[in-house]
Structure 1
Amino acid sequence: MVTALHGGPDALGVPCWDFSTNANACGPCPMALSAVRSADPRHYPDPLYTELRASLAAHHGVDPTCIVLAGSASEFISRISAAVAHGGGRRVWLPALAYGDYGRAARAWGLERVLEPEQADLLWLCEPSSPRGCAEAEAARVVEVASTVDGAVVVLDRAYEPLRLSGACSLNAEALDLVWQVWSPNKALAMTGVRGAYAIAPVHGGALADQLNAMAPSWPLGAHAVAMLMAWGRADVQDWLAGCKQQLTVWKAKQVSLLTLQNWHCLSSEANYFCARPPEALDAQALRDQGIKLRETTSLGLAGHWRLSVQPPQAQAALVAALAACSVKQERRI
């Protein structure tokens, strides 16, 4: 069995202080949570998701036919990889540091990883990136190069765009019209247990959108996911999110400062998470025993570092105390 590495709960349950997943630490969003709790689980959703497609399209200012619904962002990653392979694609390009599901899906569908964008049939971008939380330095060039390759498909994962605390997307409007955009609002809403996502097809992506819709199972979204995504574009939900970003910005500055005082080297980021290198090797199990979980980033291409989501002061204090306790135990063993 292939084991996927992710942050969040594990076999030991939900960590008391979870820095390993990038969900909005200010949530869950009260309005979206109320909508999900009010969802009617007795009936199937509309199999065409007519109202939901219209709502998401209005939120982004696109035609409803551009919306492709997905069970989750990871499900869409697998489905579009399968579609490219089915269409004769053989090669995939990934950023040097990237979410593991891109590569896992490529391997599952027999796509060979290549080093140059012009060699690829499927190309992945993510902004803010994972694990770094920055703009992709190569994004504009990748889109430009791919636009000259017949049939090349570029996907921009925007899972963390709603939680961007600084900076801006490196792709302009013209470039965005050339790429698939994947959105998974459950992170911003702090409702990652509700699975549901969607993609926006590029200007000339109608044929692939039809194929992806044909490849989807019946009712890829249940009633609760529909309720969450219907709430996503509401003005009160977006206003709540704007307030969260102000709070997260304050918390992030404090968290970086605390770790810097502990001699961690913190890398810059534009999102509600960042990567950092500790002054000595961490005992992840000892931290987990104290209710702390971090996300080690070797599987994401960044060895020797840990990704930490921004958490409130109480969690930050618990992390500092746990690090101190682990350091004392290590000194005693020496």
Structure 2
Amino acid sequence: MTTAQHGGPDTLGVPRWDFSTNANACGPCPMALAAVQQADARHYPDPAYTALRESLAAFHAVDAARIVLAGSASEFIGRFTAWVAREGGQRVWLPALAYGDYAHAAHAWKFERMHDPVRAHLAWLCEPSSPLGQAEPFARRVVASGAQVVLDRAYEPLRLSGRCRLEPVALQQVWQLWTPNKAMGLTGVRGAYAIAPERAVAQARALDQLAPSWPLGAHAVALLDAWVSPTAQDWLAQSLDTLRIWKTEQLDLLDHLGWTVLPGDANYVCGKPPRPLDAPALRAAGIKLRDTTSFGLPGHWRLGVLPPEAQAALRTALHRAEVFQ
């Protein structure tokens, strides 16, 4: 069995200073946390999720029939790929650097990877991208390709600069995948949703029919309900101001340590250290970074933006590693 590459806890437990995930380091959002803690887990949610669909649709100003609920972004990636395959799709386009689940799902369904999106039946975009946090340079070409295009917007709520390369009209032509647990600082609560393109209500219904019963539990429903509330959105906006300060400090630290850091707009940075890292030694010191080899970028590491005390621990650990080399 192949082990999925991901950040966060591992066999050693939860890292004391976890730079390996992109959760909002100002979190958890108090309102979202309270909603999850108060969720009624004694009963099944409404199997149709009527109220949740309506609140998500109102938040995005779309018809509720365009909302597709998912157990997680990864679950949606697998289900969407299966649906495209069922409809006869055989070819996929992926960004050069991307989350590994896109390629994993495509491989599972025997898709052929295309270099030209015009030849693809399925195409994946992500803005801000991971691991770089940048805009996708081929976004407009991909949208015009005629493929089923999914824009992964996991990090859009945590964008600290820049803006999406796609204009509002183009956004209505693609599937938009949202996973608010990162923005709310509650990545342990799995739950996501997609917004279907403007004229894809029938396709949204087909995706719903491919889902298992109750893809969202009571805690995920509570999280998504809280996510669209004005109080949670106000908290998120305030947290972005703090994250911008922390990111500037973290960039200064890495520059001082001799890292080559790539530009990015989100709440994480990606860079190459001046010498190879001893990841097990860092992990033993309570620090975990995200190796970006599985994204297609060997020799680099992605670091979520963390508060000053975590940055101080990173500085100490990296200096210690240099001393003992």
TM bucket normalised to smaller:
over 0.9
Q: Tell me the equivalent position of 1:288.
A: 283
1:231 is aligned with what amino acid? Answer: A
Does the alignment pair 1:183 with 2:172?
Answer: no
Q: CA deviation at 1:210?
A: 1.1
1:213 is aligned with what amino acid? Answer: D
Within a 5 Å distance, the mapping from 1:135-146 to structure 2 comes to 135-144=135-144, 146=145
CA distance in 2, matches of 1:314, 1:2: 35
Q: Tell me the equivalent position of 1:327.
A: 322
CA distance in 1, matches of 2:278, 2:203: 46
Q: Tell me the equivalent position of 1:163.
A: 158
1:282-328 alpha-carbon deviations (Å, 9 max, x no partner): 00001000000000111101121100000000000000000011111
Q: Tell me the equivalent position of 2:298.
A: 303
1:211 alignment partner, SS class? helix
Q: CA deviation at 1:268?
A: 0.9
Count of aligned pairs: 325
CA distance in 2, matches of 1:42, 1:164: 36
Q: Tell me the equivalent position of 1:128.
A: 128
Q: CA deviation at 1:126?
A: 0.1
Q: Tell me the equivalent position of 1:69.
A: 69
CA distance in 2, matches of 1:233, 1:210: 23
Q: Tell me the equivalent position of 2:53.
A: 53
1:210 alignment partner, SS class? helix
CA distance in 1, matches of 2:280, 2:324: 13
Does the alignment pair 1:31 with 2:26?
Answer: no
CA distance in 1, matches of 2:161, 2:233: 17
Q: What 5-or-longer segments of structure 1 have no aligned partner?
A: none
Within a 5 Å distance, the mapping from 1:90-129 to structure 2 comes to 90-129=90-129
Q: Tell me the equivalent position of 1:2.
A: 2
CA distance in 2, matches of 1:232, 1:55: 10
1:186 is aligned with what amino acid? Answer: N
Structure 2 length as normaliser, TM-score? 0.99
Q: Tell me the equivalent position of 1:78.
A: 78
CA distance in 2, matches of 1:318, 1:292: 8
Does the alignment pair 1:200 with 2:190?
Answer: no
2:30 is aligned with what amino acid? Answer: P
Does the alignment pair 1:214 with 2:239?
Answer: no
CA distance in 2, matches of 1:137, 1:321: 37
2:212 is aligned with what amino acid? Answer: P
Q: CA deviation at 1:49?
A: 0.2
Percent sequence identity is 65
CA distance in 1, matches of 2:227, 2:167: 24
Q: Could you say what the CA RMSD is over the residues aligned between the two structures, in angstroms?
A: 0.6
CA distance in 1, matches of 2:103, 2:200: 23
1:210-262 alpha-carbon deviations (Å, 9 max, x no partner): 11000000100000000000011110100000000000000000000011001
Question: Alignment partner for residue 314 of structure 1, among 309, 312, 321?
Answer: 309
Q: Tell me the equivalent position of 1:278.
A: 273
Q: CA deviation at 1:207?
A: 2.2
Q: Tell me the equivalent position of 2:149.
A: 154
Does the alignment pair 1:260 with 2:255?
Answer: yes
Q: What 5-or-longer segments of structure 2 have no aligned partner?
A: none
CA distance in 2, matches of 1:231, 1:202: 24
CA distance in 2, matches of 1:297, 1:75: 22
Q: CA deviation at 1:208?
A: 1.6
Does the alignment pair 1:227 with 2:197?
Answer: no
